[in-house]
Structure 1
Amino acid sequence: MPTTASTAQRTAPNRRRTSSARRDEDAPLIPILARKVREVEAKAQRGKLGPTNRVKFQVIAFLVREERARVRSDATVDLAARTELLKRLDGVATILAKTAARDTSLIHLLEVDQATSPVARRMRRDWLIESGAELAPDELIITDAAPAPAAPVVPPALADRQVVPPQIEARREANPFLAPDLTLRAPAATPRRRLDGWELMQPLYKAFESGAGGGSASMELPPVPEFDRLSPKGLEVMPHQSRFLEAVRAGHRSFLLADEPGLGKTAESVLAASVANAYPLLAVVPNVVKMNWAREVARWTPQRKATVIHGDGETIDAFADVFVVNYEVLDRHLSWLSSIGLKGMVVDEAHFIKNLGSQRSQNVLALASRIREQVRDPLLLALTGTPLINDVEDFDAIWRFLGWTNGEKPGPELMAKLDATGLTPADKAFYPEARDAVISMGIVRRKKKDVAHDLPDKLIADLPVELDDEFGRSIQRAERELGQRLAAKYRSILEARGDRVRIGEVDEDIVRLVAQAELEESKAAGTGADNVFTMVRRIGQAKALLAADYAAQLQRSVGKVVFFAKHIDVMDAAEAHFASVGLRTVSIRGDQTTPARQQAIDAFDNDPGVAIAVCSLTAAGVGVNMQAASNVVLAELSWTAAEQTQAIDRVHRIGQDEPVTAWRIIAAHTIDTKIAELIDAKQGLAQRALDGVAVDPASSDSVQLSALMHLLREALGAA
C-alpha cells in the first residue's frame, strides 16, 4: 500500500491538535471514502446505481480493505487513534453492506481483491492522489485493456425463440450474397490522448445535470435551404424539420432527436432515411404506433414501402425498405434482422431503453452494434421528447446506442472532441466545454415556442375535488395510518441509537432510510396490502366518477375531449358513466390489437359522433396524434413528469389550431396533492440539462420515494 505524504510529515504524538485533524492526518483517505460511499448509497436509494457507481462501489470495497490493513500495520499510530480509524472504516464497510443488501447484484463486488478494469484502476489512482499518496510510476500510467470480442446479437437465452419468416427466406434466395460495404475500413490505431487516464463518464453526466454553460442542448444546424426538395405533393416540411434534414444531407448520421413532443419527429426520421439512403431501415417503436409509422413512411416517402412485423412475422414483406417492429416482439427477430444488411435504425420513444439491465435495452444495443460493424456511418436516430425521467444517467443507454460512448468511456470521436478542449475534469471550465462536445455529436432539441410559432398555448389547470363520502374518508384514514406506521419505524431507529426524539426535528438520513424500506416492501407486496401504490390506486377509483362527470360537462361546451387514466377499472367506470349520459366513446388500451387501436384513433379524429377518447396513460401516452380535441382530462396522476407531458402532447402538437388545456383532477387533503407538486418539480432536470434554464436542482428521487418521505415528515410534525 503506498505511503501518504502526510504520514511522512506527521508531528510528534504528544503535540496537541483537534481530534478530527489528527484522524484525517493519520488516514487522509478515509474522509474521501466516506464521501464516496455516501454518494453511492444515495444513488442506490433512488434505484439509480448505473455502471459508473457500480465501479465506484467496487473501488471503495477494496480500498477499505487496503486501508484497514495499512492502519493495523502502521506502528506510528497509537492504539486509541488506530481504534478510532478502524471504527470509521467499519462505518464505511457497514454502508457498503447495507447498499449491497438493497441491491443484491452488488454482493459479488464486495469480494473483489483488486481493481481490475482500467476504469476502476483510474478511480483508485485518482482518490489516492487526492489523499496525498505517493504512487509508483506503474500505478500512475494506466492503459486500456484490449477490446473484448463482440457479443453475439442473439444471446443464448433467446436462441430458441428466433424465427425466420418465410418471406425472409425468399429474400435470401433471391440475393444470397449480402453486398459488402467497401467503405468500411479497419479501425486505425487510436493515438494516446491526454484524457486517456481520466474517468470521464461521471463528469459528462455532471455537465448536463448542472446545465453547465447554459443554452439549449441542440447542435448547430445548417440554415433552411432555399428550395424544399423533399416534400411530396400536398405536404410541406416545416423550417425546423428542414434544418435537421440539411444536417443529414451534410453527412451527419447519429442523432438524439429530443425535440419536444408534437414537433414531427417521425416525419423527420422518415425523410432522413431518404436523404441518407439508409435502406433497409429498421424502426423499433412502441406497439401503439406501429401502424402510424407505416402510414408516415407511405405519406412522406411514397416511393418507399414499409412493412410491419407482427408476432412471428408471417405476413411481412421481406423486400420492403422499412421494417417496423415493436419492442415486445423484437427479441424473436434478432437473428434475421442482424443479417439482412440494415443501413439504418430508428429507436422511437428511446427513453424506453434507459434500463440497461432490461432485455429490451440489450436487444436494441446489440442490433445497433452489429449495424455499425457492417456499415460505415449508418443512420442511427434516437427519438424522444423526454430523454430524462429521474436522473441524468438516463442518457447512458441512448449514448451507447448512438455509439458515442460504451458506458465506461467516450467513443473515439467524442474523446477527440473532449481532448481538443485542452481541459480536464479538474478544471471548472471543462464542464461547459464537455456538454458542448456531447451536443455537437448530434443532440437536436427544439421547443415548441421557438419553432412552431403558430402552435397555440398549452395550460395545465388543477381541479381539486373533495372525497367526502365514506370511501374517501377511508382513504384519508389509511393515509394517516401509513404515516403513523412510518413514524413508528423512524422512532424505533432513533431509540435504538439512543437519540432523543424531538418534536418538529427530523433526521433526513433516517427519513430517507425508512421511506426507501417502505417503498421496497410496497413493490414486493404488490396490491395485497395497504401501501403507497394501493393508496394512490384507491384515490384514482374514488375520483373516477367525479373526473368522468367533469369530462362529460366539458364535452358539452368544448366538443371532443381526451380522458386519461392509469388503471383499467378507472377507465371502465368512466366509460360506463359516459354511456349512461349518452356520449359515444372510443377506448385506447394496452390489450388491443394494433388495427383495433388505430381504428379507435381514426374514429376519434374523423367521426363527429365520437365525443370522448378514454385512454390509458401508458398505452396511449406516446406516439398518438389526437389533435381533434383541445381539452385533456387527467383523471389519475402519473408517477413521472415525462408521462404526464407525453399524454398532454398527444393533443398539443403540430396540426392543433386551438389552445390546449389539460385538467388535472386532484383529490384535496390527500397525498394526491403532494404528488402533483412533485411531478411539477421534476420538470427542473430536463429544463436544466436540455434547455439550459437556470432552475434550482430538484431532487432526483422518484416521486414514490418523495411522497413517502413527505408522509413521514407530516406524521412527525415537520412537513
Structure 2
Amino acid sequence: MLAEVAGEVERAVQRPPIRPSTRTKFQVVALLVREERARTMADASLGPSRRGEQLKRLDGVATMLARIAARDTSLLHLLDDDARVSDGARAYKAQLMRAGGLEVPDEPEPTPPPAPAPTVEKRVIPQSVLSHQLSNPFLAPDYSAAAQRIAVKPRRLAGWELLEPLFRSFEEASAGAPACMPLPEPRFVPLPPGRQLMPHQAGVVAAAAGGHRTFLLADEPGLGKTAQALVAAQVTNSYPLLVVVPNVVKTNWAHEVGMWTPLRRATVVHGDGDTVDAFADVVIVNYEILDRHVGWMGDFGFRGMIVDEAHFIKNKGSQRSQNVLAVSQRIRERIARPLLMALTGTPLINDIEDFRAIWQFLGWIDDTKPLGSLMAALEETELTPADRGFSSAARTAVIEQGIVRRRKVDVVADIPARRVADLPVELDGAIGRSIRAAEAALAQRMVAHYRSAVAARTVGHPARAVDGIDLELVRRVAAAELKDSSERSTGDNVFTMVRRIGQAKAGLAADYTAQLARNVGKVVFFAKHIDVMDQAEQTFADRGIKYASIRGEQTPRVRARNIKAFTEDPEVQVVVCSLTAAGVGINLQVASNMVLAELSWTDAEQTQAIDRIHRIGQSEPVTAWRIIAAQTIDAKIAELIDQKSGLAARALDGAGEQEGSASADVQLEALVSLLTDALKADGLA
C-alpha cells in the first residue's frame, strides 16, 4: 500500500506544480516507512528470512521516495527529524494505518504550550567571545558617552506632546519636498584598487568623516547603501562594527567588507556562534538569531552598528525590534558618539510612524520624547506645535539629524544605465550540505580519471611525467566528463548540480524579490525551471504579494493578459518569468529592477532578459540582481559568463562564436576550474 501511494506521489511530481496534498502524502509515507522499519527490526517473532524480506520491500519504497526527492529537492525538508507534521498529515497517516490493518495509537491530549522562557535563558556567549574578553582582562569599559551625553531641558516646548507632531510633519510635507540632509562636498578617501565611490555615495562618507554619526540612509536599492555604510565606518574608525541584516544578504555583507575594506576582517554569526571570530573587525548577524546574542553584543564594546533593511524593526512590540533597540542602547550608553546607521529603501513619506523604532535605534527619540540634539534643534526653532510653521521646521530638524534619501532618477548621472549586481547567498542546512557533497564527489571523480590517465601514460615511460598539473590533460578529462554528462540524465553531473543549486536558491531569491518589491515597487523575477517559478510564486502568495506569471505553456491570450496585469495594475508587484519563454519579445520597462534567480549558460541569454526592462523609454537606471550560491560552482559559472560577455560584441563584427559554442565553453571551463582546484587541494601544484 505504501508503494502504491509513493507511486501516486511520483506521478504527481512529474506534473508540477506540486500540490500541498502531494507533499503531505510524501511526508506520511516517509514517516510510516521509518516506523515500519523500526518495528520490523524490533519484532522478535520474525525469522531472519521474513525480516530480510520485509526490510527489502521497505527499502524499495524508500528508494522511490529518494527518486522523488531528487526530482524536487524542496521535499527534502519534510524528511528532517524536526519537520512539522500538520494535523492533516496526522489524519492521513491514521487513515493509511487503518487501511493497512495497523492499530492507530491514541493521540495524546494536546497540552497548552509552555510559557516562553525569559529571553536571558536563550542567550549564548560564544567561546571566541570569552577568549576575547580574557585577552584584555584589565581593559576598562568605555563609559565616556555618559560625560558627553547631551542633556537638554525643554523650555518653550516643556509639557508639549512632540512625537506625534514630528511624525505628522512628514505626512503634511508639500509634494516633492526632499527628505535629505545637506551633504558636504566629497573628499578624498583611500579605497582599494579598482574601487571608486560615486558622487552621491561620497557625500554620505564625507558627512561621516566631518563628524556626523547617525544616519537613516534610505536610498533606493541599487544606489550602494552597503558601500556607503562600510566606507563610513572605515573613515570614522568605528571598529569593532556590528552589522544586523536579513539572513538572505548575510553572505553578501561579508563579501562587500572584503571588497570595500579589505584590511578589515569580517566574521558571520551562525546559530549559537560556535564559529564566530570575536577578534574580527566586523561582526555580521541576522535578525533571526540576534536574540541569542543580545547579552554579549551589548557589552562587547562595539563602536558602530549598522542595521540593514531597517524597516524590519518597524513593529516596536516585536522581539526583533526589542533586540535591536537593546543592543543600540547599550552601545550608546558605553561609547561616546558611536556610528549608527539604519539602511532601508522604503520611502519615508509612507506610514512614517513605522520609523518610530528606527529613530529610537539612532538615539533621536525615546518612548515619549525627542532626545539630545533633536530636542535642541526643536527648541532653536522657537516654535510650538500650536504655531503655524512648526511642521515644516520640525521636519527639517529631523532630516538634519541624518536622513538621506535619493532615488535613481535623482542621481542618474552617477550610475550606469544598466548594471548587474551579484548577491551571494549561503546555502544552509541539509540541501546545502548535499550540494557541496555532490560537487566534491564530481571533483573527485574527475581527479580519479586524471590520475588514472597520468599513471597509464607514465607506465614504462618515466620521462612522460609532468611536474605539477598537466593543464592539457585537465581539459581532456573535463571535456570527457562534459560529454558523459550530456549523454546521461541520471547521477550527479554539472547539469544536475546547477539544477539543484537553482532549486536551493529559489526561496532566497524570492525572499529578496519580496524585499525589493516592498522598497521600489514593481520587480521582474526570472528563472529557468518551472519548479523554481512554482516555489517563488508560493513565497509571494504567502507574503500577500500579488504577482503575474509568464510561462512557455501559456496561450497568447493568457500571456498578454498577464503582461497587461503587471504593466497596468498597480497592485501587481512582481512578474515571474521563464528565462526562455519571456527572454525575448516582451516589454516590461514599467520596472527598473529584476532578479535573476538562476544562471543561464550564456551572457546573451542573461542580456536578453535584462533587455526586457532596459529598453527605449526606460526613464530609470536598470539593476539586475543576480543571485549567486557562494562556495559552489555557481560562483565560478557567474565569473565565466562575465568573462564571455564580449562574445556578443565580437559576433556583430563577424568574428564572434556561435551561441552554442559559448554555452559549451562555460560548461567546460567550469569543470576545468573544479578539477584544477581539486588537484591543488590534493597537493598537485
Name the TM-score, length of structure 2 as normaliser. Answer: 0.47
Name the TM-score, length of structure 1 as normaliser. Answer: 0.45
